Amino acid sequence: MLRCFTATLVILFLQGSNAYAKTGAELLQDNEMYGLGFVWGAANYMVEDYALNDDVGNRLTMHRAKCLYDAGMTARVLYDSVMREIRSDPGYLSKPATHALQVVTYKICGAPPAN
């Protein structure tokens, strides 16, 4: 199982910018293992690779990283939450799937502290 999950992550990273363009509808149609890898990879990018942004971006990144870590977030819980979010609103079907991930993260973590 771990080998399959690792292979899924490798495929995601090789796809580059196409991963961002994946819509909510496409994520709903994907194989579950691929979807788990997509959501987890996008979440990791969101909380790690935004670093060296401006001060506001860095504050948001640090806030999300700490929140998800403190919540003990797992790939499964995050994937299930994103899938529920997409299914709850047809507007997500045509938007990048990462939009639903950002909304879910905001619902879990809220806005970053002002300072």
- Rounded to the nearest 5 degrees, what angle is found at the Cα of 21, between the Cα atoms of 33 and 55? 100
Res 111: pLDDT:
86
Taking residues 86-90, report their average pLDDT.
96
Q: What is the pLDDT of residues 27-60, one digit of tens each?
A: 999 999 999 999 999 999 888 766 566 666 678 8
With vertex at residue 20, the alpha carbon angle to CA 16 and CA 22, rounded to the nearest 5 degrees, is 110
User: Would you say residue 115 lies in a domain?
Assistant: no
| pLDDT tops 90 at residue 15 | no
Q: Look at residue 18 and tell me if it is in a domain.
A: yes
Q: Is residue 73 part of a domain?
A: yes
Number of structural domains (the chain) is 1
Distance CA 2, CA 14 (A): 18
Instruction: Assess if residue 15 is contained within a domain.
Output: yes
Q: Does the residue 114 lie in any domain?
A: no
58: Cβ contacts below 8 Å, ≥ 6 apart: 50, 51, 52
pTM value is 0.76
Confidence of residue 62 (pLDDT cuts 50, 70, 90): confident
Which range marks the domain in which residue 40 is found?
A: 2-109
Query: Quick one: average pLDDT of 96-113?
Result: 92
